[in-house]
Amino acid sequence: MRPHAARQVQKQRFGIIVSVVRRGDAPVFPCFLRKARVAHAPRAFLHALAAYRKSGNYDALLRVIRSDAGILLASLKPEDVLTALDKCPAETLKAYPFAILVLMRRMFTWRQIPKMLELKALLLTAIREHPELSEEERGNLLGECDLILSFLCYNDISAMSRLHRSASAQMSRPAISIQSSGGWTFGSPSVLMMFHRAPGAMESELAEMDECMPHYYKVTNHHGQGAETIMRAEALFCQGRFTDAHIELERAYAQVKDNGQINMALCCDFLSRRLSLYTDVEQRYTFEERYAELLHYHDASWINLWSAASAYYHALRGETDNIPEIFSLHRLSDINMLAPGKPMMEMIENQVYLAQGAYAKVIGHSAQLLAVCEAMHYALVALHVRIQTAAAYEHLGKREEARAWLGKALSGAAPDGLVMPFVENYAHLKPLLAREIKTELVEKITKLGEAAGARNAASARPAVFDALTPREFEIVELMAQRLSNREIAQKCYLSEGSVKQYVNQIYSKLHIEGDQRTKRRRLAELLTQKA
């Protein structure tokens, strides 16, 4: 094909895409893909992506990528996508500017920044080569480009907001590359852990979020709605201001209700579960209820977020038997994690190591994690890691090292009055804190830690059950509710056979004999005894 003819074909392709988007129509797909969308069959889409990639049908491949906004693209191996991009002719890529935008965003989450910038240059070239574009559509493309480039400023709220305002000024429609139902926190269960950059900056960070997010919501159809409210609720919790934190949490739940923002709802759950450990605030959803809901979405990233919240909660309670296997068996490397969310997940894994008594692993794991936190300006994640490291050294009898790490943690926490990361680890830190100089911050940590200990003691299980593991006692409580083995299996995500084994172990440890009715009655009697 002659260069002139090729350019004409390219312009025709480009014009069709622009026309389709302008009308709001869906792109034309092969019958297979239309049926896949109707049937909600992600595997079919992924199969199509793989097939188009292998066959070299880059036009079809780019149409799928643009239509899906990159959500399913995240399920592919980055190297496979990069190989396909290297093989795809530049002229073909330039015919699909909206696919370029989607790919730019995905390159960021994969930390392929040079490729992201290469795609940006290609996009700008495509816009220059097509003077037939309306000013409106040109503004939409350039504005969305600014929106995606804002991620390069992550997690500097002010810098990101400047680009969000630029995008907002240029765009007349919501972004193509970001779907409101998609993930907002890059796999992190916490907004505050993402955006708290430096000691003493928390109040200004919260104010910047309040100012920034409306511009972002405007160009993304309210993607991440409620983020600023959740962040404020988390900050109040970390300062030990439980009532205020609860109020903001309820506001956040109201903002995300029925809007498809599963990511934000799971962030609310993460805070709700932590808050329930220190107050009478009831968790809005049990772990079982939320898990059952998540299964309907067929989205592994939501399950990973659920697992993270569960792992952290049960690690704080010392219930190591209840920690999801991906954390209890330390298999984080088996799942796809976006780079910005990875430090939070690894911090939670460190908390699990601490609960498991793997103190040397906590210390060994911390050095590399702290280096990442420093590079990414994750001040709150770093604070948690330093506390975990101090606790591990204390357990190993290395008092000088423990005090040094605690000192670093207290220095980082003092400017913002952050006490709860210490309180959550008070059982590990109590002897160490007792030897520390009694500052106002240490006094508050100690007061809240002792109150939490008294609260846990009041709700402690009867002493007769001390021989049981947390999982075994959980099953005892379900048996007391007159649930069958099958019902217990469903609630605990176990097989009936496993439940039967647990039940036999429980009776054996408690020296309960007789027929099944007699055993269950005796078990119920033991539960009513005083601790």
Q: Which two tokens stand for residue 335?
A: 């799942």
d(CA 350, CA 208): 31
Average pLDDT over residues 239-250: 97
| Per-residue model confidence as pLDDT tens digits over 305-324 | 999 999 999 999 999 999 99
Of 272-276, 324-328, 485-489, the one with minimum mean pLDDT is: 485-489
Mean pLDDT of 195-204: 97
The answer to which of 39-43, 417-421, 474-478 has the lowest mean pLDDT is 39-43
Q: From CA 382, how far away is CA 372, in angstroms rounded?
A: 9
Taking the C-alpha atoms of residue 196 and residue 201, their distance in angstroms, rounded to an integer, is: 7
User: Over 90: is that where the pLDDT of 201 sits?
Assistant: yes
- Range in 59-68, 213-222, 237-246 with the lowest mean pLDDT: 59-68
- What pLDDT, on the 0 to 100 scale, is given for residue 346? 98
| 155 compared with 8, residue with greater pLDDT | 155
What domains can you pick out in the chain, each with its CATH number? 1-133 (no CATH), 306-458 (no CATH), 463-527 (1.10.10.10)
* Contacts of 271 by beta carbon, 8 Å cutoff, 6+ apart: 190, 230, 233, 234, 237, 245, 249
Contacts of 323 (CB under 8 A, 6+ apart): 310, 311, 314, 315, 352, 355
pLDDT of residue 44: 65
Q: Over 80: is that where the pLDDT of 462 sits? A: no
Of the chain, the percentage scoring pLDDT greater than 90 comes to 63
Lowest mean pLDDT among 89-103, 161-175, 459-473: 459-473
DSSP annotation string for 325-372: HHHHTT-GGGS---GGGHHHHHHHHHHHHHHTT-HHHHHHHHHHHHHH
Mean pLDDT of the chain: 87
Report the pLDDT value the prediction gives residue 131, as an integer from 0 to 100. Answer: 87
- Of 100, 129, 121, nearest in space to 15 by CA: 129
The C-alpha atoms of residue 64 and residue 71 are separated, in whole angstroms, by 11
Cis peptide, bond prior to residue 155, ω within 30 of zero: yes
CA dihedral 14, 113, 136, 70 (to 10 degrees): 60
Q: Mean pLDDT across the stretch 215-243? A: 96
pLDDT, residue 10, reads: 46
pLDDT tens digits for range 45-91:
667 777 887 788 888 888 888 877 766 677 778 888 888 889 999 99
pLDDT digits (tens, 9 = 90+) for 378-387: 999 999 999 9
